[in-house]
Copies of this chain bind each other. A is one copy, B any other.
Amino acid sequence: MVTFEEISPADFFYRNRDIAGFTNPVRAIFSALRELVENALDATDLSGVPSEVYIRLSHDNDTELGDDVYRLRIGDNGCGIPARHIPSAFGQVLFGSKYKLKQARGTFGLGGTMAILYGQITTHKPVNIVSSTGTSRIYKYALMIDIQRNRPLILDRTIQINKEQWHGTFIEFSLEGDYSRAMPKILEYLKQTALVTPYANITFVDPKGRLYKFTRVTTKTPPPPKETLPHPYGVDVETMQRLQRITDCQTMPDFMQKHFHRVGETISLSFLDFAGFIRTSDPKNLKGEDISRLVKAIKKNKKKGKNGFSHNLSVKEMQHFIRNTQSGNLVDFMKTHFKGVEKSVILRLLHAAGFIRTKAPRKLRSDEIVKLVRMMKKFDGFLPPDASCLSPLGEDLLKVGILKELKPEYIVVSQRKPSTYSGHPFIVETAIAYGGDIPAKDDILIYRFANRIPLLYDEASDICVKVIRSMNWRRYKVSPSMPIVILVHICSTKVPYKTVGKEFIADRPEVKKEVLNGLREVARQLQHFLTKKEYVARERRR
The listed residue (B66, B88, B238, B506) touching A14 by CB distance below 8 A is B238
A539 within 8 A of B: no
- Once A16-B108, A367-B64, A506-B23 are accepted as A-B contacts, the answer to whether A95 and B4 lie under 8 Å apart by CB is yes
Contact digits for A420-453, partner B, Cβ 8 Å, 1 yes 0 no: 0010000000000000000000000000000000
A481 at the binding interface (Cβ < 8 Å): no
Asked if A374 lies at the interface with its beta carbon under 8 angstroms from chain B, I say yes
Cα A506 to Cα B24 with chains together (Å): 12
Tell me the residues in window 63-97 of chain A with beta carbons closer than 8 Å to chain B beta carbons.
Answer: 64-66, 79, 82, 85, 88-89, 92, 94-97
Pick the residue among B23, B108, B121, B499 that contacts A238 (CB under 8 A): B121
CB distance from A99 to the nearest CB of B (A): 6
Asked if A467 lies at the interface with its beta carbon under 8 angstroms from chain B, I say no
Contact digits for A482-511, partner B, Cβ 8 Å, 1 yes 0 no? 000000000000001111100000100000
Interface flag for A314 (CB, 8 Å): no
Would you list which residues of chain A between 240 and 279 have a CB under 8 Å from chain B?
Answer: 242
Q: How far is the CB of A244 from chain B (nearest CB, A)?
A: 12
Q: Does the CB pair B5–A238 fall under 8 Å?
A: no
Q: Are B122 and A237 in contact (CB under 8 A)?
A: yes
A370: interface (CB < 8 Å): yes
Do A497 and B9 form a contact, CB below 8 Å, given A64-B367, A370-B123?
no
Whether, in the assembled complex, A46 has its beta carbon less than 8 Å from a beta carbon of chain B, the answer is yes
Question: Which one of B14, B79, B460 lies within 8 Å of A460 (CB-CB)?
Answer: B460
Number of interface residues of A (CB under 8 A): 61
- What B residues does A95 contact at CB under 8 A? 4-7
Cβ B370 vs Cβ A18 within 8 A: no
B residues within 8 A CB of A14? Answer: 238
Q: A236-B122, A367-B64 are in contact. Are A97 and B4 (CB under 8 A)?
A: yes
Question: Taking the full assembly, how many copies of this chain does it contain?
Answer: 2
Q: Are A99 and B5 in contact (CB under 8 A)?
A: yes
The residue from B2, B8, B242 contacting A97, defined by CB atoms under 8 A apart: B2
Residue A39 interfacial (CB < 8 Å): no
Residue of B nearest to A84 (CB): B4
Residues in chain B near residue A236, CB distance under 8 A: 121-122
Does the CB pair B369–A124 fall under 8 Å?
Answer: yes
- Bound-state CA distance A37–B238 (Å) is 26
Q: Which residues of B contact A79 (CB under 8 A)?
A: 2
A120 on interface, CB distance cutoff 8 Å: yes
A64's partner among B64, B242, B371 (CB-CB below 8 A) is B371
- Return chain B residues, CB-CB under 8 Å to A123: 237, 370
Query: CB-nearest residue of chain B relative to A242?
Result: B148
Whether a CB of chain B sits under 8 angstroms from the CB of A352 is no
Q: Can you list 19 A-B contacts (CB < 8 A)?
A: A4-B85, A4-B97, A5-B96, A6-B88, A6-B109, A7-B95, A7-B109, A9-B9, A11-B94, A24-B422, A64-B367, A64-B370, A65-B374, A120-B238, A122-B236, A124-B237, A124-B369, A148-B242, A499-B499
Closest 8 A-B residue pairs measured CB to CB? A461-B461, A6-B95, A121-B238, A124-B237, A121-B236, A9-B9, A124-B370, A2-B97
**A residues lining the B interface (CB < 8 Å):** 2-9, 11-12, 14-16, 18-19, 23-24, 46, 64-66, 79, 82, 85, 88-89, 92, 94-97, 99, 108-109, 120-124, 147-148, 236-238, 242, 366-367, 369-371, 374, 422, 458, 460-461, 496-500, 506
